[in-house]
């Protein structure tokens, strides 16, 4: 009787350990897959920088990397500016200054835009909104009405203006 009870306890311990390992491994695999497939249409921002060239002229510099297997077209739509106190905000339409660019699969693109705004007078936070479009191929990649809109990509910058 003692032998069968100790065998049963040993069996339950081994079964519990096996189930725990199976749960851990399945969570790890599912977690890895969800990270990989959560948003396969994602451009990465390698670096970003904003500078005031003059009191009314600003330059945004962004490095986009495309680790996916498809090409994307991106176009800067607008820049929102918020003062640190959040007492005021401004929206600067920059689409007239912004060229559409293609970010090919596996490539890295340096994107730079210079724009004018007479409404930004102090330091604060800038948020640049890029519209991202799907490309069927590099040859057919155009940011026009036939392109499929995917999402807006907000990128935040800290603007420090000298007094």
| Mean of the per-residue pLDDT values of the chain | 74
Contacts of 102 (CB under 8 A, 6+ apart): 71, 72, 73, 135, 138, 141
Query: CATH no. for residue 100?
Result: 2.60.40
Same domain, 25 and 52: no
- Domain residues for the domain of 7 are 1-38
Same domain, 55 and 34: no
Cα–Cα dist 66/82, whole Å = 29
Cα–Cα dist 135/143, whole Å = 9
Same domain, 95 and 49: yes
Same domain, 61 and 19: no
Residue 25 has a CB neighbour count (10 Å cut-off) of 10
Query: What phi and psi values does residue 119 have, to the nearest 5 degrees?
Result: -100, -10
Which of residues 10 and 25 earns the better pLDDT score?
10
pLDDT in tens, 52-77: 888 888 888 888 888 888 888 888 88
Same domain, 32 and 49: no
Which pLDDT value is given to residue 35? 37
* pTM given for the model: 0.63
Same domain, 10 and 58: no
Beta strand pairing status for 124-134 and 72-83?
antiparallel
- Do the Cβ atoms of 123 and 82 come closer than 8 Å? no
Cα–Cα dist 82/149, whole Å = 27
Q: How far is CA 21 from the centre of its chain?
A: 34
pLDDT in tens, 15-37: 777 776 666 555 545 444 433 33
Binned at pLDDT 50, 70 and 90, residue 163 comes out as: low
Query: What phi and psi values does residue 96 have, to the nearest 5 degrees?
Result: -70, -25
Query: What phi and psi values does residue 35 have, to the nearest 5 degrees?
Result: -65, -40
Q: Is 102 exposed, middle or buried (0-12, 13-18, 19+ CB in 10 A)?
A: middle
């Amino acid at each position: 009787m003692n032998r069968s009870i100790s065998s049963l306890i040993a069996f339950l311990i081994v079964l519990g350990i096996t189930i725990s390992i199976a749960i851990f491994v399945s969570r790890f695999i599912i977690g890895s897959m969800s990270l990989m497939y959560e948003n396969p249409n994602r451009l990465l921002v390698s670096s970003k920088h904003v500078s005031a060239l003059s009191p009314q002229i600003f330059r945004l510099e962004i490095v986009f990397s495309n680790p996916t297997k498809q090409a994307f077209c991106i176009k800067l739509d607008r820049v929102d500016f918020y003062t640190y106190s959040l007492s005021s905000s401004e929206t600067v339409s920059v689409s007239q200054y912004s060229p559409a660019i293609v970010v090919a699969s596996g490539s890295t693109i340096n994107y730079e835009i210079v724009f004018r705004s007479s409404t930004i007078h102090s330091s604060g936070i800038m948020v640049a909104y890029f519209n991202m479009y799907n490309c069927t191929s590099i040859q057919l990649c155009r940011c026009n009405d036939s392109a499929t809109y995917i999402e807006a990509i907000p990128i935040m910058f800290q603007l420090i203006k000298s007094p």
